[in-house]
Structures are given as C-alpha cells and as structure tokens.
Amino acid sequence: MIRLDDVVRKSPAYLFRWEPSQDAHVLLYPEGIVKLNATAAEILSRCTGQRVADIVAQLAEEFAVEAVDAIRADVLQFLEDARERGWIRTDA
C-alpha cells in the first residue's frame, strides 16, 4: 500500500498534459492514451516528488474541504491504482 510519507512522481514513460481537443488532461505513453477526470488530474499534477501527505494537505486547502479523512482515503486509493498501472513511482 502507498503510505503518507511516500514520495511520489510520474513515471518518465508517461507524458501528462492538457489536451484542448479533449477538454481534459491526458496521459500519453507508448501505445496508449488515457483521458483523466478532473480529480485524477489534480492529484497527478502534484506527483512531482512530493510526499503523499503534502499532496493531501494541498488538495484539502485548495478545495476548502473539511473532511480531510475522506480526501486522504481517495488520494491513497487513486495513487495505489496509478502505481499499479505504472503511471507513478514511489521513491525507495
């Protein structure tokens, strides 16, 4: 499982960017395209070598959310999934 003090960054094989023709952020990689929903894009854009706990704090602040517990669970779940798919890596 991903932990709050893990440091996360996007895998170099994936290109993350805004795509106007899709009106969404996309992940481009060899042989694939993934269209991201807004939440996924918010989280991924912060996977730049930061600690997971800091990403959670930033999101809670940015979206003025009281229920930090819920955000934390969502972020951990998403990052776990993203790591499984190879989109992100955790520093050892």
Residues that bind other proteins (CB under 8 A): 11-13, 15, 19, 21-22, 26, 28-35, 83-84, 86
The CB-of-51 to other proteins minimum distance in angstroms stands at 21
* Shortest distance (Å) from residue 32 CB to other proteins: 6
Q: How far is the CB of 77 from other proteins (least distance, A)?
A: 17
Find the largest Cα–Cα distance for the chain: 40
DSSP H or E segment with residue 75: helix 68-84
Nearest to 10 by CA among 39, 37, 34, 46: 46
Residue closer to other proteins (CB basis): 30 or 66: 30
As beta bridge partners, residue 37 has none
